[in-house]
Chain A
Amino acid sequence: MSNNTSRPGSLSKRLNRVKTYLSKPQNAILLALGIMLTITTVFPMITILRDTVLIHPGSKDAVGTALESSFDFGSEKLTSYNWTNLFTGTITTRVGRTRVTRSVADVYLWTPLLNSVLISIFACFGSILYGGIFAYLVTRTNLKCKKYLSSIFIFPYIMPQWTLAVVWQNLFNSNVVTGGSNGLLANMFGITMPQWWCEGIFPVSVVLAIHYAPFAYILIGGIFRNMDANLEEAATILNSPRWKTFLRVTLPLIKPAILSTILLVFSSAMGSYPIPHYLKLNTLSTQYVAMKGDRIGQASILAVIMMLFGFIILIINQRTTSGRKNFTTVTGKSGQTSVVNLRAWKYILSVILILTTLATGILPIVLFAIETFLPNPGDYSFLTNASSLTSKWWLTSENITESGMYGNKGILYNQQIWNAFAGTLFVAICCALVAGTIGTLVGYCVSKNRRSKWAAYVNNMAFLPYLMPSLAVGVAFFVVGSNMGLYDTFLLLILAGTVKYIPFASRSALNSMMQLSGELEEAAIILDIPWWKRMTQIIIPIQKTSIISGYLLPFMTCLRELTLFMLLCGQGRIITTMLDYFDEMGLYAFSSGINLILIVSILIFNYFVNKLTGASLDSGIGGGKK
């Protein structure tokens, strides 16, 4: 720095360079976005890390610190107790009459961690298999009813996560095996499913796989649709057997889509709270919720571990997507795609798929609807006696404590429910607006600076929250929010939602902006058209649908988000936490009613946005449309 003075021109030269750099709006915006995203993404992470060494009054660490050492850090007292106790401590539990001593790590860490990893792996595997096969059938064969199938196939993703978990319970639970009321199968046919089928790793994995299969379908299907059919035909002509063509040509071509799916599904599955919660599996997220009462610091360690997985996935992804084999499979010239003739199988497979999609897409809605007319939860007596159905859960307009309403008004008259619904709408709209705008800007600026390291950094920062399990992000904002006195405010919800959903918008914007030739804007620059005019009159009109998709996906996801928000507010603030509350209370008719309202409104929103603007969840997730 000292020789700056000896070369007087150098400082002003540097200043000039900075000025030139910033005179391009995309650079200035990129700089601002980079700083902002660093704060919103990194700050909460650091806060969690810090939380693991804080002493929480009334928590185990407060007691434990008295025994172990603590150290002063500035004005604060910090402790390593949470870490040492979690990894090396022991606890004594009572099993029947005998007292058993076990290590803390076994109980609170290794078991849930193993479960989390297993369900994430199974979810990836299952969703890729199911979604991939479905994508193949829809895009490359002469399957029947493709249109219907492809639109209903994504229902499970549009619907709240727990929907299928609840349906699973309603179908398979039985008093003998799981306790509680009998499910539909036990009720109607007297069939009782075994324990492993009803609860634990198996159902959680299946439900997660079905929930995320639309990702795989949209991403893999996008490649299948645009894949140059000649690549496979060239192999066929060279006498390659079908399986070999598939293994050596097709599979490598869809590998990027498979990797993207893993990227998206793994951490989403890991961070899912409601599904393991309903289906009674001990995972990191359910364990976190169980521990946040008296082991807050250690719970934060679980959140840190979840975040680590996010980082690992990000690094693996970068490793695999850079390299010599990196290629685009989508050619501008799309040859005629030859369609595989399934012969008789086309009917068999169509029927099978129609039945499964009905079960995963339509059945939940029907079951929820029925549930709201049952006199008591699980009381299916209407099957023999139609008059036992009741509309009290909807229509009761006064405060009555009898007939199982516990003083709640019917759903249609229940101010609490509608307030929460309005709250959800408000949060969703705000999140969508902010996340959509920022994401679009990130997509635009990054596409304008393709080679710049800073742009790549901003892009990664914008994407990172996606790879962070929802619960971990929720925890981070919970810690930040409690420290800043924002707990249970809309502001905190919107903040968390925005950060978590920017990736949706930035991905979809980046995907489409990358396809936009820079010359379009350069033509306008030469005519000296100002930046805002170029944006509003050229870029935005051209990219209208993909930009709207960037707003749509955060909106939809926000409507049905529970995991991210449940730690951040009281139960009456938004509809999903309200639903959780009724569920805990055992008022299943109410929770089913809310589920029904949510699902139906999401489907209606989706339908109209799609019809009016052509935007779709597909393009938001990143699947190519023809």
Chain B
Amino acid sequence: MARIELKNVTKRWGGYYAVEHLDLNIEENAFVTLLGPSGCGKTTTLRMIAGLETPTEGRITIDDTVMFDSELGINIPPNKRRVGFLFQNYALWPNMTVYQNIAFGLSNINEPGVYVNDAGEVVRDGQDKSKLTLTKDEIKRVIDRVSAIVKIGPFLERYPSELSGGQQQRVAIARTLAPSPKVLFMDEPLSNLDAKLRLEMRSELQRLHLSTGSTFVYVTHDQMEAMTLATKICLIDNARLQQYDEPLTIYSQPRNLFVADFVGNPAVNFIEATGVQNASDSSSSIELEFLDGFKGKFVPESGVDLEAWHNHEAKLQAEDEAKRRGYVEKTNKDLPFKYNIARVHEPEQTQTKQLTHNDFVIGIRPEFIKLSDDGKIEGEVFSAMPTGMETTLKIRVGNFLLTAVAFGEMFYKIGTKVRMDFSGHRIMLFSRENGMRITNGELIINA
């Protein structure tokens, strides 16, 4: 029930940027996950929206209220932002019982016309404007409702130290839900739970999102969690926004090598390639050489002019650099993403090669490596990990290792020869020079 808008928000400690010029629009009723490796600035972002951290600059709006604006000097304190926050380690008050923990926030409500409706929800714009606080009875009804949602009814009189991790987690959720916040922030709420419970809580959070209709902003470093829960993922690395899109878009159309690598399990296969664009070909295909001797033709899904694409990217980069020149220098420098090429033996040394427009990285999701008897590439099973539903295979091609997923109950013996193809038209082509994805397309291997 609330929109959130971040404009050019930055948080830095000295020259150390935790969040750098972040623009983000969170729609009403969205379930947005902030995803990224540890230390990339997710928690800081969340805390800034909630008001627990003061941004160095920028502007934050929730609905139509400006919550923070560095230029106008507006900074609404966290207790006036009417948001819910679920802390990573729950932050239950050890000196209060579960009931008291949940009741505490309800007893703080002080707004004209507040009451509890028949469903047990806190409503803030009632008729009776002289009623400012909730009665004991109303508080009890709210607690009855939320404790039923997260199933903690039997524990209300216990102290947090007398609960298991999962139960504490539920209490924390109940405490956050009780005052019916319009936005709910969650900071890695499931990371302290065991795998099975985590899965269970995940689906409960999803249901909760539907039933409350609140906007959820959810921090996680687990890409699987982000993929499964979010309506939109905001992927951050080293304080910078990498991509903000729906999960499947992020998965199939990553903006750069980092995004492609971070999302997806098992991880994407990267293959270095060199080649030139066929000037004559109407499909603007590119002739590539890769995997020590294989040759093939990459056919983009829609026409691409490499030269123009590079010029465009260079212009964007120059603009970005020009913009950043005015700012305090970033001590946590942005380094080019080091993608990993899986090999059987690591090469002795990698001489740094001068990269040109003709250097590419091909990204192939494991499910696009199709094993078939008449495949054009021959390899050897290096390892096989069956889960029952599918088998993750590492296949050796020369010195390279490719990850493939084979569905169905099959048995692969290590060392057997297999043949495969790269199927479909969602093979990704990146520029090795700047790490950005150029386009998706089909990779046809020459016989």
Contacts and interface: CB of A to CB of B under 8 A. Distances in A.
A239 B108 CA distance: 6
Contacts of A338: 52-53
Contacts of B110: 239
Given A241-B108, A327-B161, A233 B89 contact: no
A10 B80 CA distance: 72
Nearest to A323: B159
Contact of B108 (A231, A244, A327): A244
Contacts of B78: 233, 236-237
A253 B95 contact: yes
Interface residues of A, number: 29
A34 B214 CA distance: 62
Nearest to B44: A336
B159 A233 contact: no
A77 interface: no
A486 B352 CA distance: 83
Contacts of B236: none
Interface string A228-262: 10110111111111001000110011010000000
B217 interface: no
Nearest to A237: B85
Contacts of A416: none
A343 interface: no
Interface in A275-328: 324-328
A27 interface: no
Given A238-B179, A240-B79, A233 B94 contact: no
A238 B108 CA distance: 7
Given A239-B79, A240-B104, A324-B162, A231 B109 contact: no
A253 B84 CA distance: 23
Given A252-B95, A327-B94, A338-B53, A239 B109 contact: yes
A39 to B, nearest CB: 38
A80 interface: no
B266 interface: no
A323 to B, nearest CB: 10
Interface in A88-146: none
B87 interface: yes
Contacts of B139: none
Contacts of B105: 238-240
Contact of B91 (A234, A240, A328): A234
A236 B79 contact: yes
B50 interface: yes
Most buried by A among B53, B78, B96, B108: B108
Interface string A210-234: 0000000000000000001011011
Interface string B101-120: 00011001110000000000
B171 to A, nearest CB: 12
Interface residues of B, number: 30
B93 interface: yes
A233 B52 CA distance: 7
B83 interface: yes
A231 B104 contact: no
A329 B159 contact: no
B94 A237 contact: no
A335 B50 CA distance: 16
Most buried by B among A234, A237, A329: A237
Interface in B32-75: 50, 52-53
A234 B85 contact: yes
Given A239-B109, A239-B110, A338-B53, A228 B104 contact: no
Contacts of A336: 53
B411 to A, nearest CB: 40
A331 interface: yes
Contact of A239 (B52, B80, B89, B96): B80
Name the residue among B77, B79, B160 with the largest chain A CB count within 10 angstroms: B79
A230 B91 contact: yes
B109 A237 contact: no
B221 to A, nearest CB: 14
A7 interface: no
Nearest to A338: B52
Nearest to A332: B89
Contact of A324 (B77, B82, B159): B159
Contacts of A328: 94
A249 B108 CA distance: 14
Nearest to B172: A234
A327 B94 CA distance: 7
A235 B101 CA distance: 10
Which of B78, B88, B110 has its CB near the most chain A CB atoms (within 10 A)? B78
30 contacts: A230-B87, A230-B88, A230-B91, A231-B93, A233-B87, A234-B85, A234-B87, A234-B91, A235-B93, A235-B104, A236-B78, A237-B50, A237-B78, A237-B85, A239-B79, A239-B80, A239-B109, A240-B105, A240-B108, A241-B79, A248-B93, A249-B95, A253-B95, A255-B95, A325-B94, A326-B161, A327-B95, A327-B160, A333-B88, A338-B52
Interface of B: 50, 52-53, 77-80, 82-85, 87-89, 91, 93-96, 104-105, 108-110, 159-162, 175, 179
Interface of A: 228, 230-231, 233-241, 244, 248-249, 252-253, 255, 324-329, 331, 333, 335-336, 338
Closest 4 CB pairs of A and B: A238-B105, A252-B95, A230-B91, A327-B94
Given A234-B85, A236-B78, 10 more contacts: A233-B52, A238-B105, A238-B108, A249-B93, A249-B95, A253-B94, A325-B159, A326-B161, A327-B94, A333-B89
